[in-house]
Structure 1
Amino acid sequence: MKAAPFDYHRPATVAEAVQTLAEFGDEAKVLAGGQSLIPLLAMRLTHFENLVDISRVPELQGIDLVDGEVVIAAGTSHALVGMDDEVADSVPLLSLAAPHIGHFQIRNRGTLGGAIAHADPAAEFASVALTLDATIVAASARGDRQIAAADFFTGLWENSLAADELLREVRFPVWSGRVGFGVHEFARRHGDFAIAGATVAVELDDDDRVVRCGVGLLGLGSTPERGTPAEQAVTGRPVTDITAEEFGRLALSDLQDVPTDLQGSPSYRRRVGAAMVARAWTDATTEALNA
């Protein structure tokens, strides 16, 4: 199959890109790495009258450390995020998550901003954004708008961007002190979408009590989810009083619509998901205790 006809636009700047989006509105779609969009177009599962290719906009490339946050421009590839020394030092959860994204060809072409905007429930970087309370910056002809990651994902492949907005960058806060991170996911084959998975971040005080905790869940809802009950239950408690199994159960305790498909039933996904959360928690707390 081939994609239905469309008009192709290649802006050279963010200003040109947002003007094009403002002109065409719902009839336009942003094309970044194309690793999700192109297959959908080729199979005619979706269609847009206008594609706005931002892959060569210099402003949408790069990684910077600014005021305690790692700022990653939306067009930066998964591969560059995964191999960047600044990211590894300041936001290691991104470095841990990157190898789980598809295969190296996908990581070379796919972009961090595109993956987050696509809002796939099994998207690793979307889960990291939730876990760390990242901020998504949207650009439009009206100016920039900041969106908390918790408010960004609204449904299956849906986000809170307006039709004339472009995801410009994502700002990941740097967790410092006695912190630890873990990523675990289960897929039939390496590179497949996760049947279930988790990203976990934890910070401890000098008495080994949990100061803060973040849990992102992959493949366990219609959009990236957060394990809020587990985060709330462990905050303020000695980390040694919390078993990994307890933490895994708590993280999934308020999920309502766990998906079912050929890969697994809701009960199977819950069981696997709890195990992935438990493993990620173990890795994160072990690192924090040794920090």
Structure 2
Amino acid sequence: MEDGGRKELGLSQLLTDIKKHYEKIIHRNRMELDACINTQLLEVSDAEMNKNEDSLQAARAELNNARRQWQTLQLEIESLHALQKGLENSLQVTEQRYEVQLKNLASVIREMEGELHGVRRDIEHQVWEHELLLNTKMRLESEIAMYRSLLDREEDRLSGATSSGCQSSLSSLSQKDMALPSAAAIASHLEQRIQMVTTQEIRGQNAVAGSSKAHGKIQSEKVDEVIKEWECSFFKDNPHLRKKSTSLRFDLHLAATDESCSQTKQGSLPDIELRLVMRKSSSIPSLKS
């Protein structure tokens, strides 16, 4: 019984010792495991912290870069705003300048149109004057030709006449050494006088048109002087020709046509039309053949 009791005590003691030994092993393993876990946790946390710190530094670098870009863009925007303002000001100045230039050009165009209108009026007036002078010249030439033919016939009559009055007049003319002017000389003299008067009228008209009434009277006086001079040169010392021959008289009608010239200078001649008309004087009988 004692041996059995001792064996049970020894076995329980052994189990107790084994239990304590394994408890120590378990405690030691637990401590080691906790230390390993803590070490791993520290390592992981350090790695994560390092990683997060790198990310944070990268984020800070990106933020700084973004700030620098934002500042650069802000400066560009401000410069663009200043450029826009300058362009708007220059555009406004350019518009004002070109508006003034357009107004000046419009006024120049109006002036040139007025001048062109005046030039056209002057050209039309000159064409009208040219046609008028051409018609006058044609009428004068035809009437001069008629007058020459009449003078030639009259001279033929006078040369063929055998009356004593003509002989006495011719003898008196030969004694006084005076000769009757020929038809050609008379026509030439008359043509020169008409050309002179016409030239004076044209020059006066080109200078400036004057008052139609006053200068028409002046031209009438000139024409009267021409007629008197011609009559004196033709009928001088031949009174029988004045009585017997056909009176060949020139009526130079001066028609003032300065209706288009409202403002003229004093002393200038108006536009006139010279009409050379031959007519027989009703008071002097014609010669009988």
TM-score by length of 2: 0.20
TM-score by length of 1: 0.20
More helix by percentage: 2
More strand by percentage: 1
